[in-house]
Amino acid sequence: MKHEISTLMDGELFEDDADRLFDRINRSPGARMDWEIYHLIGDVLRQPEHIHCGLSAKVRERMHDEPTVLAPRSHAVKRKIHTIALSAAASLAAVGVVTWMSQQISFEAMPQVAMQQKALRQASMQIQPKSNEYLMAHQEFSPSTDMNGGASYIRMVSYNPEGK
């Protein structure tokens, strides 16, 4: 953990790793001491003439009497929610535009489709009288539904217990 603390205080650890490490430091007084000593070393190297007795223990004592502060909701979280809401709104707008455009296209194409359907209906009415007889003759081979398709493979049997 010491190695990670050293990397963390240099700002060279990834955010998720840092978050996990803070949890571990919280649980370990030794790790908190390492954090404190490494910072002391840095301060001594930078400004040896300005090193004075630390305050953290005294501040910590006073902090015991302080009620725990809680922000209603972290500003960073609010920012994230704001960003998510904006992207969701943008996505909805995009979907709306695409739907509207597709409807416009389908309305324009509708008369052409109607005309094609009318022509098909006329052609099928011409074919129908001829094909009806053929279809009636071969009805049992028609796979129009699953049951009908399978009906030709089913043998009907009966059982009479009195006729033994």
Partner 1 sequence: MADREVDQQLVERVQRGDKHAFDLLVSKYQRKLGRLISRFVRDPAEAEDVTQEAFIKAYRAVPGFRGESAFYTWLYRIGINTAKNHLLANKRRPPTSTPFDADESESFEEASLLREVNTPENELMSKQVVDVVQSSLQQLPEDLRSALTLREIEGLSYEEIASVMNCPIGTVRSRIFRAREAVAENLRPLLETSKGNRW
- The residue within the footprint of partner 1, chosen from 20, 24, 58, 80 (CB under 8 A), is 58
User: Interface with partner 1 includes 66 (CB under 8 A)?
Assistant: yes
Question: Can you read off the two tokens belonging to residue 152?
Answer: 């030709």
User: Interface with partner 1 includes 83 (CB under 8 A)?
Assistant: no
Secondary structure (3-state) at 113: helix
Question: Can you read off the two tokens belonging to residue 115?
Answer: 């005309």
According to the 3-state scheme, what is the secondary structure of 85-106? HHHHHHHHHHHHHHHHHHHHHH
18 and 41 Cβ atoms separated by less than 8 Å: no
User: Interface with partner 1 includes 95 (CB under 8 A)?
Assistant: no
User: Interface with partner 1 includes 41 (CB under 8 A)?
Assistant: yes
Q: Is 11 left (phi over 0), alpha (psi -120 to 50) or beta?
A: left
> Per CB under 8 A, which region of 22-30, 96-104, 124-132, 153-161 contacts partner 1?
22-30
User: Interface with partner 1 includes 53 (CB under 8 A)?
Assistant: yes
CB of 105 to partner 1, least distance (A): 48
51 and 43 Cβ atoms separated by less than 8 Å: yes
- The residue within the footprint of partner 1, chosen from 76, 125, 137, 147 (CB under 8 A), is 76
Question: Can you read off the two tokens belonging to residue 137?
Answer: 């003759």
> Per CB under 8 A, which region of 28-36, 84-92, 108-116, 135-143 contacts partner 1?
28-36
Other CB atoms closer than 10 Å to residue 17's CB: what's the count?
Answer: 12
> Per CB under 8 A, which region of 53-61, 84-92, 130-138, 141-149 contacts partner 1?
53-61
| Site residues, partner 1 (CB under 8 A) | 2-3, 6-15, 18-19, 22, 25-26, 32, 34-60, 62-63, 66, 68-72, 74-76
